[in-house]
């Protein structure tokens, strides 16, 4: 089920019109209609607002069904870090976006998220490849040459941290940027320990991601 289907189903379940939902989100009713028809999709920054308005988790909006391992990661009771706190752990120093085109592999099980990331990256001239889970990501890295890999943590089967560990054990030169809402301190520190180059906390602003791709 895509994000438009979830929005429509949850809106109807709460007896809310498209106009009423649009007013809550400060968008037009036409925008809500386009989301529900699959013509367009909401910006990533809209996900928390949609989640609150429709009484639905961000995972359900994005069509994520967690495995036991991912449920364990998600239910971690550590402090949840914001972007500046994650950057502090990584000793991140902002650098200007180079403007150079790169081949980027996006590994995320949410179709909506892959589409949104592809739009952001291709708009800046990057070439985007897509993987729907960790195993597909590893397989593609054996067949394709890429310069950057964007990794979600919460994926079915092999979670993103394990994918990161395997990537860095064999391709230490590949830049890997973790991209996840599971920003508990232990997850961020484990990503650093496994060799991640940066950690971007969802939801994020496009420039935040582009700066870390370089």
Query: pLDDT per position in the chain (214 positions), as tens?
Result: 578 888 999 899 889 999 999 998 999 999 999 989 888 888 877 887 888 888 877 767 776 555 555 555 555 556 889 999 999 999 998 888 888 899 999 999 888 889 889 999 999 999 999 999 999 999 999 999 999 999 999 888 899 999 999 999 986 789 999 999 888 999 999 999 999 999 999 888 899 999 999 8
Cα(49)–Cα(127) distance, rounded to whole angstroms? 30
What are the boundaries of each domain within the chain?
Answer: 3-61, 68-213
pLDDT of residue 46: 82
For 69, the 3-state DSSP assignment is helix
- Structure-block tokens of residue 25: 């989100």
**Residue whose entry in the numeric block shows the structure tokens 């120093």:** 93
What's the confidence (pLDDT) of residue 2?
76
For the entire predicted model, the pTM comes to 0.72
Contact 144/127 with Cβ under 8 angstroms? no
Contact assessment for residue 166 and residue 194, using Cβ atoms and an 8 Å cutoff: no
* Rounded Cα gap, residues 76 and 180, in angstroms: 14
User: What pLDDT, on a 0 to 100 scale, did the predictor assign at position 154?
Assistant: 87
Sheet (strand 198-201) strand order: 127-131, 103-107, 148-151, 175-180, 198-201
What does the pLDDT read at residue 76?
56
3-61 under CATH 1.10.260.40, yes or no? yes
Residues 6+ apart with CB under 8 A from 160: 107, 134, 151, 152, 153, 154, 178, 180
State how far the Cα of 183 lies from the Cα of 186, in Å rounded to an integer: 8
The pLDDT assigned to 198 comes to: 97
- Residue in this structure with the two tokens 């969802």, named with its chain if needed: 202
Fold of 68-213: Rossmann fold (3.40.50)
């Amino acid at each position: 089920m895509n994000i438009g289907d979830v929005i429509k189903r949850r809106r109807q379940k709460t007896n809310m019109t498209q106009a009423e939902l649009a007013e809550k989100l400060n968008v037009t009713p036409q925008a809500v209609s386009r989301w529900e028809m699959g013509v367009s999709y909401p910006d990533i920054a809209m996900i928390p607002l949609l989640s609150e308005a429709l009484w639905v988790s961000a995972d359900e909006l994005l069509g994520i069904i967690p495995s036991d391992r991912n449920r364990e990661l998600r239910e971690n009771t550590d402090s949840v870090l914001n972007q500046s706190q994650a950057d502090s752990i990584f000793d991140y120093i902002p650098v200007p976006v180079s403007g150079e085109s790169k081949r980027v592999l996006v590994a995320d099980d949410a179709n909506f998220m892959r589409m949104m990331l592809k739009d952001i990256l291709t708009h800046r001239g990057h070439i985007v490849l897509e993987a729907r889970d960790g195993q597909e990501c590893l397989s593609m890295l054996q067949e394709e040459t890429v310069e950057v890999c964007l990794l979600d943590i919460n994926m079915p089967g092999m979670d993103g941290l394990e994918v990161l560990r395997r990537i860095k054990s064999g391709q230490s030169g590949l830049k890997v940027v973790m991209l996840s809402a599971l920003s508990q301190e232990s997850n961020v520190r484990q990503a650093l320990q496994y060799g991640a180059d940066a950690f971007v906390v969802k939801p994020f602003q496009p420039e935040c991601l582009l700066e870390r791709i370089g």
